[in-house]
Amino acid sequence: MTERARLDDLAGRQPPALPAALFWTRLHLVRNLRRRAFLLWALGLGITLVALRLVGAPHRVLEQLALVYLTPLLGLFFGSGVLREELEDQTLTYGFTRPVRRAWLYMARVLAAAGPALTLAAAAAAVAARSPGVAPRLVASALLGGLAYTCLFAAVGLRSRGSTWIGLGVFLVWELGVGAVPGFLGRLTLVTHVRSLSGLGLDAGVLGRLWEPVAWPISLAALLGVTALSLALGGFWAERREFPLAR
Amino acid sequence: MSAMTPSTEMSEEMSEEMSGEVSGEVSEETPETARLIARGVSKSFGPIRALNEFDLEIGPGVTGLLGPNGSGKSTLLKLFSGQLRPDTGTVRVLGRDPFRDVSVFAALGLCPEQDKFYEELTGLDFVTALTRLHGYDARAARERAAAAMARVGMTAHERKPIRAMSRGMRQRTKIAQAIAHDPAIVLLDEPLTGADPVARAELIELIARLGAEGRCVVVSSHVLHEVEAMTHQVVLIRFGRLRAQGDIVRLRTLLDDRPYRIRVTTDAPRPLASRLLERLDHVRAVSVVADDALELTTLELDRACFDIPQLAGELGQTVRGFTSPDADLESLYRYLIEEA
């Protein structure tokens, strides 16, 4: 074998992507769970939920708070800055100069970012549940919803530096506003599917009386579909985008 | 050390500026030894053109990448390490496009300029984690990481959290992660920044050794004498253009309209100064700069090396010192980069 052929062979060696991505997920998941932001969220959330229970807030309010408000906001907070943080702290280079496709590393980072969001969302849903029998359904809904939101906002974060503001706009206008509209339009929002899966429905009022849950297989497919699509789009963009580090 | 570049050459523009006699073009044929190739590469950031129609081939051995701030050195390294893609032209690392084909990173290690890490990890854990992305299992990656840390002299500190490390230790750790997977190509962006003098000497030796092992090592640095200690092969960049590439001494000889200064230390410099002016037609000027030293300028370094001791001998003198401050990298840099 000539020297050139040896080098070509060496350069062509690409390790299996899945084990590398799983390792990268684990590494960053542990890092994320030890970060101050996660600990502050956990503390704040714990205090809020305990206080609301102590003052006798109805379970319905707590459940809505956990699933309709907290789950998307957690997804936004932990998802929107997935690669931006590594860009800002200038550590992105280390991962992106390895023989693993960037799409895999991006997905690994999104899943690692989803870890804290899902942990908090699931814990909030469990604490808010009106009975132990309802808790698993609420927790499952929070997990699926949280994953979809995290992946969606992570993909938005790859395309825009203002992803936090865009995400807040999406949450307030699209999810809370359009999500309360009965019929087809409302079904285009993630929150409708989270409500349907969890059995929460829409609170009282004219819209609440008109609101109808979506069949759970459709809601399940919608949440998983958004998750997969967002991951795929994010991976696609991560492969094609330049990530010049600030100096 | 093996030959590092296909030829010693100055850019066409440079040669016109300097003497109009020297020319050199990157050959269309890719030589067997070329590891890194840039052809017609331009890269802009908004209105700023960082690289302009840049052609370069780099082979095995250590190559110093030199140029002032903003000359395009880091952009070039980012293009070779797949962090950026060229606006026009092609970049190839071992024949592959590093932006599209990540498999090239199996054979490439990068030590980035920025002093950033996963701070909470220990040095060993950090290097191990990055080595695992090359497909090694936990044990193999740890062994490789430990070996790389040992190579950069960090064994004693490898279990220290990175946030508690000195700048020099961090720099060594950064180099360790670049070489832990035994790459054929190593790109080092300002690798000696922050290292203390002892560490610098050790790292210079390490870098020279990496080149001597047949790797293609590209070192970007501002510190000329350190580059000179690692290699005589340099690439000079200015305003995003290749100014010159090749062996320092050969490049210097190509600047034939620029005289060399030579400092001669001898017991009685005055008579020797007179004799030099009288007898040597290639000597342009002589001045006595100290009681025991004179400085002359000549266009022909080789002849001066031969003639001056001979003339001194005729006067019964001994030449005790003979140095040419213009034959080193610093003067080359001054002529090609600063004065241009």
This prediction has a pTM of: 0.81
**Beta strands at B241-247 and B233-238: parallel, antiparallel or unpaired:** antiparallel
Average pLDDT over residues B173-198: 92
Cα B46-B48-B54 angle, rounded to 5 deg: 115
Residue type at B227 in one-letter notation: V
Residues 138 through 167 of chain A touching chain B, CB cutoff 8 Å: none
Query: Are B103 and A14 inside 8 Å of each other by CB?
Result: yes
pLDDT at A130: 84
User: Do A102 and A21 touch, CB atoms closer than 8 A?
Assistant: no
A11 assigned to some structural domain:
no
The question of ipTM being above 0.90 is answered as no
Name the residue facing A91 among B95, B96, B117 (closest C-beta): B117
User: Do B89 and B266 touch, CB atoms closer than 8 A?
Assistant: no
User: Do A244 and B83 touch, CB atoms closer than 8 A?
Assistant: yes
C-alpha distance from residue A22 to each of A18, A29, B262, B305 (Å): 6, 10, 63, 65
pLDDT at A99: 95
Give the separation between CA A76 and CA A174, rounded to whole angstroms: 14
A247 assigned to some structural domain:
no
A34 in reach of chain B (CB within 8 A): yes
Give the separation between CA A229 and CA B129, rounded to whole angstroms: 29
- Give the count of Cβ contacts less than 8 A between chain A and B: 107
User: Do B207 and B62 touch, CB atoms closer than 8 A?
Assistant: yes
User: Do B152 and B203 touch, CB atoms closer than 8 A?
Assistant: yes
Instruction: State the DSSP H helix or E strand holding residue B52, giving kind and residue range, or none if neither.
Output: strand B48-58
Q: How far is B334 from chain A (nearest CA, A)?
A: 26
Give the residue, A116 or B245, on which the prediction is more confident: A116
Query: Are B114 and A243 inside 8 Å of each other by CB?
Result: no
User: Do B36 and B80 touch, CB atoms closer than 8 A?
Assistant: yes
pLDDT at B6: 38
Structural domains counted in chain A: 1
Query: Are B32 and A101 inside 8 Å of each other by CB?
Result: no
User: Do B94 and B172 touch, CB atoms closer than 8 A?
Assistant: no
pLDDT at B3: 35
Give the separation between CA B108 and CA B106, rounded to whole angstroms: 6
The closest alpha carbon to B282, from B261, B297, B266, belongs to: B297
Written as six digits, the tokens of B310 are: 């001979």
For chain B, what is the mean pLDDT? 84
Give the pLDDT confidence of A34-71 residue by residue, as tens digits: 999 999 999 999 999 889 888 888 888 888 899 999 99
pLDDT at B28: 45
Give the pLDDT confidence of A64-121 residue by residue, as tens digits: 899 999 999 999 999 998 888 888 888 999 999 999 999 999 999 999 999 999 999 9
C-alpha distance from residue B264 to each of B239, B290, B306 (Å): 37, 10, 13
B48 in reach of chain A (CB within 8 A): no
Chain B hits for A102, CB-CB cut-off 8 Å, are: 102
pLDDT at A58: 87
Q: How far is A99 from chain B (nearest CA, A)?
A: 5
CATH class, range B260-339: alpha beta
Chain B hits for A96, CB-CB cut-off 8 Å, are: 82-83
pLDDT at B24: 34
Number of H helices, E strands in chain A: 14, 0
pLDDT at A214: 83
CATH class, range B9-253: alpha beta
Mutate to test the interface with B, among A3, A8, A13, A97 (most CBs of B within 10 A): A97
Start-to-end CA distance of chain A, whole Å, equals 42
Q: Is the pLDDT of residue B2 over 60?
A: no
Give the separation between CA A195 and CA A214, rounded to whole angstroms: 9
For chain A, what is the mean pLDDT? 88
Give the separation between CA B157 and CA A109, rounded to whole angstroms: 29
What size, in residues, is chain A? 247
A13 assigned to some structural domain:
no
Chain B hits for A100, CB-CB cut-off 8 Å, are: 102, 133
Give the separation between CA B260 and CA B252, rounded to whole angstroms: 9
Give the separation between CA A161 and CA A150, rounded to whole angstroms: 16
Q: How far is A55 from chain B (nearest CA, A)?
A: 40
CA atoms within 13 A on the CB side of B116: 17
Task: Assign B310 to helix, strand or coil.
Answer: helix
Residue type at A30 in one-letter notation: V
Give the separation between CA B200 and CA B150, rounded to whole angstroms: 16
Q: What percent of chain B has pLDDT over 90?
A: 45
Mutate to test the interface with A, among B102, B117, B179 (most CBs of A within 10 A): B102
A5 assigned to some structural domain:
no
Residue B332: is it exposed, middle or buried by C-beta count within 10 angstroms (0-12/13-18/19+)?
buried
Q: Is the pLDDT of residue B106 over 90?
A: yes
**Maximum mean pLDDT: which of A56-65, B3-12, B50-59, B196-205:** B50-59
Name the residue facing A99 among B95, B103, B117 (closest C-beta): B103
User: Do B257 and B19 touch, CB atoms closer than 8 A?
Assistant: yes
- Please name the residue that has the structure tokens 């030796």: B205
**Domain spans, chain B:** 9-253, 260-339
Give the separation between CA B25 and CA B10, rounded to whole angstroms: 8
A84 in reach of chain B (CB within 8 A): no
Q: Is the pLDDT of residue B300 over 90?
A: no
Chain B hits for A23, CB-CB cut-off 8 Å, are: 129, 132-133
Beta bridge partners of B247: B233
Give the separation between CA A154 and CA B303, rounded to whole angstroms: 68
- Please name the residue that has the structure tokens 């497919």: A221
A30 in reach of chain B (CB within 8 A): no
Name the residue facing B102 among A3, A14, A23 (closest C-beta): A14
A133: containing domain: 18-240
pLDDT at B267: 86
Query: Are B105 and A247 inside 8 Å of each other by CB?
Result: no
The least confident of A108-122, B139-153, B282-296 is B282-296
Name the residue facing B116 among A7, A91, A243 (closest C-beta): A91
Written as six digits, the tokens of B266 are: 């001898």
